[in-house]
Structure 1
Amino acid sequence: MVISSAYELHPEACAYLESLRAVNASVNTERTYAGRVALYLSHCAERGIDWTRPTLGQLSGFLHGLVQEPLPSRSRVGPAEPRYRDEKTANAILSATGRFLDFCSTRGWVPLEVVNLLWEPKFLQHLPPGYDVGEEGQFQVVQARKVKFQVAVDGYEWLLPGQIETVIGLTRNARDRFLVTLLAVTGARIGEVLGLRREDMHFLADSRSLGCPEDGPHVHIRRRGNNLNGALAKARRPRSIPVEADTVGLYSEYQYERDRVPEAAESDMVFVNLFRQPLGQPVKYHGAKDLFDRLTKKAGFAARPHMLRHSAATRWIRGGTDPDVVQDLMGHVSSQSMQPYLHSTSKERRDAVERGAAHRRTNA
């Protein structure tokens, strides 16, 4: 929810969040958009701006203020170096603000001309592979943001096999070891893994006794909207992902650990609290984030759930797996979503240059 400084609900912002909930947006998405909308509303309230009728200059001022104003200090022991948002984050906040204002315009709360301040038509000259422009080219014109920072496109981060083994080795219990391993071998999203039920774990050599025709041990990813921890699978289409015997063995170790906590017996969720209250309750997003924050600190390099997902896709692609199969394993609807995984490594780039140099010397 979004509230004012007087602890009163902001009706339009709450209605927007309710619209996200209505289309089964994840809890993380809803939380992120709530915070970004609240930043915009707070900016307007502090400066006496009518949030329903901002000018282009005021929206630009909001964008630039996001990177100029220091963030609250996290230090508990005294003064610390000021922290600032980067331009990419500021763009994302203004983008969320634009979607909020667009939603409000459909309800008559914000004039349409305000929304038009943020967007302008843009003709796509360089189309990504596989992009469908429509029968008459109607999809070659898209709406682009007018107000934004020009930022470079970030590279995609993944972990090398040795780094993944390091992270797994730093886990302190069987549950966390199985969680990290499952993310690494399946390429599933953290919300999909936290939303797993015991019935989704088909770890038998033959699952026909369970009414499942899939061969070998595998995990079923299903979208459910009633998980107590708020976990939600992003992909609406269910899918299954094969796993290896080592992963099944880690699950058995985790079950042995879990069986020693009586409160966990009542939950059908796979990942539950075993070491802190409330015992037996499903692990939530912030619990998983705390785990990866600790592992990152111990490992000395960044280790996040989505990096494990990217690592799995990279491993499959480099292993010669057909891109259509990888797309299915990842739960992507569009083949365009596969483009981030079709990258080259620094070694591959260097090898290419060295081969070119060797060819040039040979033919000199």
Structure 2
Amino acid sequence: MAWVVVDGSFRLHREATAFLDQVRGLGRSVNTERNYASRVALYLTWCDERGLRWTDPGFENLLRFRDWLVSVPLPPRGRTNRSVIRFRQDGSANAILGTMTQFLLFGVGPGWVSEKVAMTLVKPKFLRFLPDRAAGEGASPSVITERTLKFATTDPGIEYFTPQQVELMIRMSRNARDRFLIVLMRATGMRIGETLGMRRADVHLLADSRVLGCHVGGPHVHVYRRRDNANNALAKSRKSRTIPVTTDVASYYRDYQWERDAVPEAASSDMVFVNLFRAPLGRAMSYPNAKQLFDRLSKWTQIVARPHMLRHTAATEWIRAGVPRDVVQDLLGHEWPGSLKPYLHTTDRERREAVERVAAGIR
């Protein structure tokens, strides 16, 4: 699948589509490409409605676009609650501004956007402390570029589920497939793209898998690096890895297999997660399918529920259980240790216990 941008007459926007081709060439997921397409289209539409050249609207107009993003109400969501007025949050506006900036900077190379315009989009930023991966001999310079068009926001931190919330989602799920998906993602920390891209041959839940030609001991699943999938599910990690699982995961998988075997159309698919309850039966689950599942769970459980929160939950639980960070990094498929930083948050209880332990030692 490839995303494109068209104008009001459904003519292909050549420059925007070339930008999306570059995004795809960098190996970004289909979801990322879709988000980039919608953000670029929003910017182009805004310029077109005001008679501005998108290649050089003027910095003052770019500032107006920034403010417009958060000041104009969003369209009503669905057929219900149409009286509720919603506005775009600063974080969402920043994502749009970031993509717009990338698009305009991309346009400098082919000559669509002048270097004068590009110079207004970024400014030098002097780093007082270098990032972890830049430290040491041969480190990168302490001057980087920073976007000029953005809102100042505070990092809200990662969102994760409590054990009680996970159990609630499992109970509220209406079928064995959805229960297995939740249990698997929570147990392995896999991304939704990696989960939906799994093949049946990737699941080794025997105590000894040598009969399958695999010499990894104990129940486990394989997460392979990027490969073509009919549902466009994409593994973000550039390297393959193996993740051990418990017999509890195997039990949920067995229940799902009973459910799946009752749908003849699913027999020919080698994908793990397939459509069982609506047409086209047997086809691999897609990102929209998964989003609809978590949207339903959010409504039924009255909690915020997104697929990536299960990955956050797994990482948080491993770290709090004292699992070495290099092991957590390997389980998650992170390429560098700094990626774990968002998961190294503390609770009020942990801070209280730390202070009390030190105070007890002083006395």
TM-score, length-normalised on structure 2?
Answer: 0.95
SS in 2 for 1:176: helix
Amino acid at match of 2:148: K
Aligned residues: 360
Q: Does 1:319 align with 2:308?
A: no
User: Following TM superposition, where does structure 1 have runs of at least 4 consecutive aligned residues deviating by more than 4 angstroms?
Assistant: 353-356
Q: Which residue of 1 aligns with 2:254?
A: 252
Report if aligned partners of 2:194, 2:223 keep a CA contact under 8 Å in 1. Answer: yes
- Deviation track 1:184-228 (CA, whole Å, cap 9, x = no partner) reads 000000010000001111111112222222111111111334211
Q: What's 2:187 paired with?
A: 185
Over 3 Å counting, the alpha-carbon distance change for 1:79 and 1:291 in structure 2 is closer
SS at match of 1:120: strand
Residue 230 (str. 1) matches residue 232 (str. 2): yes
For 1:136 and 1:218, the matched residues in 2 are separated by: 39
* Aligned equivalents of 1:186, 1:236: Cα separation in 2: 17
Matches within 5 A, 1:28-39: 28-39=31-42
Q: Which residue of the other structure, out of 58, 62, 66, is the alignment partner of 1:59?
A: 62
For 1:334 and 1:35, locate their aligned partners in 2 and report how far apart those are by CA, in whole Å. 30
* Structure 1 residue aligned with 2:52: 49
Task: Tell me by how many angstroms 1:269 deviates.
Answer: 0.6
Range with greater deviation from structure 2 (116-125 or 235-244): 116-125
Q: Is the 8 A contact 2:194 2:235 kept in 1?
A: yes
- The answer to whether residue 215 in structure 2 is matched with residue 213 in structure 1 is yes
Q: Cα–Cα, structure 1 residues 236 and 65, in superposed 2: closer, same or farther, change >3 Å?
A: same
**Structure 2 residue 283 is matched with structure 1 residue 281:** yes
Aligned counterpart in structure 1 of residue 98 of structure 2, from 95, 100, 121: 95
Shift of 1:63: 0.8
**Percent identity for Structure 1 against Structure 2:** 52
Give the whole-Å Cα distance in 2 for the aligned partners of 1:124 and 1:218.
Answer: 43
Instruction: Kindly provide the amino acid, as one letter, of the partner of residue 158 in structure 2.
Output: Y
Q: Report the CA distance between 1:48 and its aligned residue.
A: 1.0
Could you tell me which residue of structure 1 aligns to residue 245 of structure 2? 243
The whole-number CA distance in structure 2 between the counterparts of 1:138 and 1:20 is: 25
Tell me how far 1:138 sits from its aligned partner.
Answer: 3.0
How far residue 355 of structure 1 moved from its aligned partner, in angstroms, is 5.2
Distance 1:78 1:240 in 2: 45
The 3-state SS of whatever aligns with 1:266 is coil
In 1, Cα distance between equivalents of 2:344 and 2:130: 16
Distance 1:218 1:78, change over 3 A: closer
In the alignment, structure 2 segments of 5+ residues that lack a partner are none
Q: Deviation string for 1:329-353 (max 9, x for gaps)? A: 0000011101011110122123345
Match of 2:114 in 1: 111
Amino acid at match of 2:326: D
Give the equivalent residue in structure 1 for 2:294: 292
Paired residue secondary structure (1:6): coil
**Are the equivalent residues in 1 in contact too, given 2:226–2:236 (CA < 8 A)?**
no
**Secondary structure class of the residue paired with 2:108:** helix
> Is 1:123 paired with 2:132?
no
Q: Aligned partners of 1:74 and 1:327: how far apart in 2?
A: 38
How far 1:78 sits from its partner (Å)? 7.4
Mean CA deviation greater in 177-186 or 135-144 = 135-144
Report what 1:85 is aligned to: 88
Aligned to 1:26: 29
C-alpha distance in 2 between matches for 1:2 and 1:155: 33
* Cα separation, 2, equivalents of 1:124 and 1:154: 23
Aligned partners of 1:291 and 1:78: how far apart in 2?
21
Give 2:332's aligned residue: 330
| RMSD, aligned CA | 1.7
The structural deviation recorded for 1:359 is 4.8
CA–CA separation in structure 2 for the residues paired with 1:74 and 1:9: 28
Per-residue Cα deviation, 1:275-309 (whole angstroms, up to 9, x for no partner):
00110001110110111111111112112111111
Aligned position for 2:12? 9
Shift of the 19–188 alpha-carbon distance from structure 1 to 2, 3 Å rule, reads: same
* Separation of aligned partners in 2, 1:274 and 1:204: 25
Task: Name the CA distance, whole Å, in 2 between partners of 1:202 and 1:355.
Answer: 44
Corresponding residue SS for 2:221: strand
What SS class does the counterpart of residue 100 from structure 1 fall into? helix
* Cα distance between partner residues in 1 of 2:211 and 2:78: 56
What's the CA shift for 1:110?
A: 1.3
> Partner letter of residue 168 of structure 1?
I
**Cα offset, 1:162, TM superposition:** 1.6
CA contact (8 A) 1:36 1:93 kept: yes
Contact 2:160 2:312 in 1 (8 A): yes
In 1, Cα distance between equivalents of 2:80 and 2:273: 35
Letter of the 1:215 counterpart: G
Q: Distance in 2 between matches of 1:75 and 1:182?
A: 31
In the alignment, the residues of structure 2 paired with residue 89 and residue 197 of structure 1 have an alpha-carbon distance, to the nearest angstrom, of: 34
The alpha carbon displacement at 1:136 in A equals 5.2
Q: Compared with structure 1, are the counterparts of its residues 112 and 231 closer, same or farther at alpha carbon in structure 2 (3 Å cutoff)?
A: same
Contact 1:187 1:313 in 2 (8 A): yes
1:348 is aligned, of 347, 350, 358, to 350
Unaligned runs of 5+ in 1: none
Decide whether the 8 Å contact of 1:17 with 1:34 is kept in 2.
Answer: yes
- Alpha carbons of structure 1 residues 136 and 173: separation in structure 2 relative to 1, 3 Å: closer
